Amino acid sequence: MNSEKIFRYLLIGSGVLIVFIALGIIATLFVGAIPSFKEFGFGFIYSSDWNPTQGRESYGALPFIIGTLVTSILALLITFPFAFSISLFLGEYFKNGKLPSFLRSVIDLLAGIPSVVYGLWGFYALRPIITDLGLNAQGFGIFTSSIVLAIMIIPYASSLGSEVISMVPGSLKEAAYSLGATRFEVVKTVIIPNAGSGIFAGYILALGRAIGETMAVTMLIGNSNRIPTGIFDLGNTMASLIANQFGEAEGLKYTSLVEIGLLLFIITGVVNYIGKLIMKKLSA
Amino acid sequence: MNTSTQISKAKINRRLLKDKLFTYAIIFLAFLSSVPLFLILFELIKKGYRQINISFFYKVAPDTMEAMVAVKNNEIIPGGIANGIVGTLIIVGMASLIAIPLGIICGMYLAENSKGKFAGVVRFIVDMLQGVPSIVLGVIGYIWVVKPITGGFSGLAGSVALSIMMLPSIVRSTEETLKMIPDTLKEAALSLGVPYHKTMLRVILPSGISGILTGVILGISRIAGETAPLMLTALGSAAISTDITKPSSAIPLLVWEFYNDPNLVNMIWSASLFLLILILILNLSAKAIAKKWKVQY
């Protein structure tokens, strides 16, 4: 009887513990960011000055917020035609067979490659190509990072899409075919309107991934503290700024980096929440 | 009459052509997406195989001077990644020790209370944790463990950060698997007078073990390659360290160190290749388990 009770408490306790972990993460970031917030207020978000010189210390997050958003949205745009094709390929055109299962394995493996390995490949294989094309003197920058990010998020952007596309009711498609529609027209008039919001939710979740990516971007973006002037310019993201500067940071710089972490947490949280919301509407 | 059929025929042909082009484009783009994987694998194997030998597995990472001399004499760099292998085993092992029991119990709770209000909150939070960027978890590991507990960078801090990272995949896979097990199984056990906790632990949990194991392995493979959170927590160590309160190395951390040291650049490929093979094996075994022992009733 007693062990039964303990077991039930254990079950609920595990849930409570996870809630505490999450609240703890939020509280920790908030508390850590307080000194920086006291110093800079909301100006922290729209100030573009990142100056660690002692005595004239001033920190603002704008270049990194912009860098993060530009890199990840550009990555999403690059990934779109590929992820969409994969979703259609696996969800509609070739559902079963050797080729699709091969493609599925490839995509699973892409998801398994560590970020730092993507970064290495970007540095040694992709960067020289960017330089040869004359897009950027050293081959670093937002564009280079976005290409690598785009490859990294293909699995996340395509998996939900292929799932919802395969769930489009056959009767709808058959009705369109019986009216003489070609497959392309079925895709355009039946599948996309039906599965569109699910496909979109997948892209939003992939965007959340891209925003939080650290290592590959750190190795490729060039780590400048200015607001980037174009997609071939150098830049920096919130995640790679933390990765680069957290180690030796103290005092005001340290709490500013924690505040950047808090902002990053909030941005990814909101993006993921929107994605989940769309998914929920879908299943309801 | 004749011209109008001609026009409609041309129209149909155009539609068919469009359809064909679209199909080819889909196939082309889908397979173009698989090219990077092979490019990366090719690059790693081409540049990395030379460094992989027996000493690669039991010697620690070389220092810059040793490596410089070897490169000058056009020899392969002596030394290996033993400190990284041991570090990864300890850090990932500790993270698993924290995350697996908690994750399985929480998954069980969610499966048993699928409609409860608090369970809904927990589910929402697990989803939220899944999306937290790994670098933020590194900051958390630093603030929670490095500063107050170990008083300096430590493997334990890395484990704490990584355990939060692998938790969601274990919780969700446990929940999804247990939900698929029919109620009749539980009812049969309960009707025989088996207490609830024994029913759950001895009947329900074992029947869902394959799904849970798959989630655990995927969780491990997700954290094994993580670099960013370890940079802020475990930091890295040149020697093999088994003390979890001291800085520790890990394979991805070594890749990062090699990358930053011009003399050691030749080592990055072999270390990455090893890390990638490790993760691929984890992924493939998770797939194999899921396929072989699928929960079926």
Which neighbouring-strand residues pair with A51? A58
Same domain, A98 and A185: yes
What region does A250 belong to: left with phi over 0, alpha with psi -120 to 50, or beta?
beta
**Record: contact B276-A113, CB cut-off 8 A:** yes
**Record: contact A243-B122, CB cut-off 8 A:** no
Three-class DSSP category at A50: strand
**Is residue A274 a part of any domain in this protein?**
yes
Nearest to B232 among A118, A154, A246 (CB): A246
Average pLDDT over residues A204-217: 95
Rg (CA), chain B: 26
**Record: contact B275-A93, CB cut-off 8 A:** no
Chain A positions in Cβ-Cβ contact with residue B128 (cut-off 8 Å): 22, 269, 272-273
**Is residue B52 a part of any domain in this protein?**
no
**Is residue B14 a part of any domain in this protein?**
no
**Is residue A41 a part of any domain in this protein?**
yes
**Record: contact B272-A17, CB cut-off 8 A:** no
Nearest to A113 among B40, B112, B140 (CB): B40
Chain A positions in Cβ-Cβ contact with residue B256 (cut-off 8 Å): 116, 215
Same domain, A113 and A7: no
Q: Of chain A residues 177-206, which have a CB less than 8 A from chain B?
A: 182-185, 187, 205
Same domain, A32 and A143: no
Average pLDDT over residues B155-180: 95
Same domain, A36 and A80: no
Same domain, A160 and A47: no
Domain that holds residue A163: 62-283
**Record: contact A109-B37, CB cut-off 8 A:** yes
**Is residue B7 a part of any domain in this protein?**
no
Average pLDDT over residues B217-227: 93
Q: Of chain B residues 227-286, which have a CB less than 8 A from chain A?
A: 227-228, 231-232, 235, 252, 255-256, 259, 268-269, 272, 275-276, 279-280, 282-283
Question: Does residue B43 sit at the A interface (CB-CB below 8 Å)?
Answer: yes
> Rounded to whole angstroms, how far apart are CA atoms A171 and A188?
16
pLDDT in tens, A60-115: 999 999 999 999 999 999 999 999 999 999 999 998 889 899 999 899 899 999 99
Same domain, A74 and A176: yes
Q: Of chain B residues 109-128, which have a CB less than 8 A from chain A?
A: 109-110, 112, 118-119, 121-122, 125-128
Mean pLDDT, rounded, of chain A: 92
**Is residue B112 a part of any domain in this protein?**
yes
Q: Which of B46-55, B133-142, B244-253 shows the lowest mean pLDDT across its residues?
A: B46-55
**Is residue A57 a part of any domain in this protein?**
no
Which one of A12, A18, A78, A260 would you mutate to disrupt binding with B, by most B Cβ within 10 Å of its Cβ?
A18
Chain pair A-B, CB pairs under 8 angstroms = 244
Pick the residue from chain B with its C-alpha nearest to A148. B36
Q: What percent of chain B has pLDDT over 90?
A: 66
Q: How close, in Å, is residue A199 to chain B by CA atoms?
A: 16
Same domain, A38 and A151: no
pLDDT of residue A146: 96
Q: ipTM of the predicted structure?
A: 0.93
> Rounded to whole angstroms, how far apart are CA atoms A186 and A11?
48
Model confidence at A22, pLDDT cuts 50, 70, 90, reads very high
Question: Does residue A117 sit at the B interface (CB-CB below 8 Å)?
Answer: yes
Model confidence at B2, pLDDT cuts 50, 70, 90, reads low
**Is residue A76 a part of any domain in this protein?**
yes
pLDDT of residue B6: 78
Which neighbouring-strand residues pair with A58? A51
**Is residue A151 a part of any domain in this protein?**
yes
pLDDT of residue B297: 61
Domain that holds residue B208: 82-292
Chain B positions in Cβ-Cβ contact with residue A115 (cut-off 8 Å): 225-228
pLDDT in tens, B269-284: 999 999 999 999 999 8
Q: How close, in Å, is residue B47 to chain A by CA atoms?
A: 11
Pick the residue from chain A with its C-alpha nearest to B164. A21
**B261: which residues sit within 8 A by CB, 6+ positions away?**
B64, B67
Question: Where is A59: in which H helix or E strand?
Answer: strand A58-59
Nearest to A114 among B29, B121, B227 (CB): B227
| DSSP state letter for A228 | P
Check which CATH number belongs to the domain holding B109 and give it. Answer: 1.10.3720.10
Pick the residue from chain B with its C-alpha nearest to A5. B197
Average pLDDT over residues B119-137: 95
**Is residue B45 a part of any domain in this protein?**
no
**Is residue B93 a part of any domain in this protein?**
yes
**Is residue B284 a part of any domain in this protein?**
yes
> Rounded to whole angstroms, how far apart are CA atoms A237 and A224?
9
Q: What is the DSSP string of chain B?
A: -HHHHHHHHHHHHHHHHHHHHHHHHHHHHHHHTTHHHHHHHHHHHHHHGGG-SHHHHHSPPPPHHHHHHHHHTTPPPP---HHHHHHHHHHHHHHHHHHHHHHHHHHHHHHHTTT-HHHHHHHHHHHHHHHS-HHHHHHHHIIIIITTTSSS--HHHHHHHHHHHHHHHHHHHHHHHHHHS-HHHHHHHHHTT--HHHIIIIIIHHHTHHHHHHHHHHHHHHHHT--HHHHHHTB--SS----TTS-B--HHHHHHHHHH-GGGHHHHHHHHHHHHHHHHHHHHHHHHHHHHT----
Check which CATH number belongs to the domain holding A100 and give it. Answer: 1.10.3720.10
Token pair 């939080």 in the structure block, residue: A212
User: How far from chain centre, in Å, is Cα B113?
Assistant: 28
Same domain, A131 and A158: yes
Average pLDDT over residues B78-90: 91
Chain A positions in Cβ-Cβ contact with residue B250 (cut-off 8 Å): none
pTM of the model: 0.94
Pick the residue from chain B with its C-alpha nearest to A204. B131
Nearest to B126 among A18, A184, A273 (CB): A18
Phi, psi of A212 (to 5 degrees): -90, -5
When divided into structural domains, chain A yields a total of 2
**Record: contact A115-B255, CB cut-off 8 A:** no
Average pLDDT over residues B32-51: 92
Neighbours of B285 (CB within 10 A): 14
Same domain, A103 and A9: no
Which one of A215, A253, A264 would you mutate to disrupt binding with B, by most B Cβ within 10 Å of its Cβ?
A215
Pick the residue from chain A with its C-alpha nearest to B141. A25
When divided into structural domains, chain B yields a total of 1
> Rounded to whole angstroms, how far apart are CA atoms A159 and A111?
11
**Is residue A56 a part of any domain in this protein?**
no
Q: What percent of chain B has pLDDT over 70?
A: 98
Same domain, A41 and A85: no
Q: How close, in Å, is residue A33 to chain B by CA atoms?
A: 12
pLDDT at B181 over 60: yes
Same domain, A253 and A117: yes
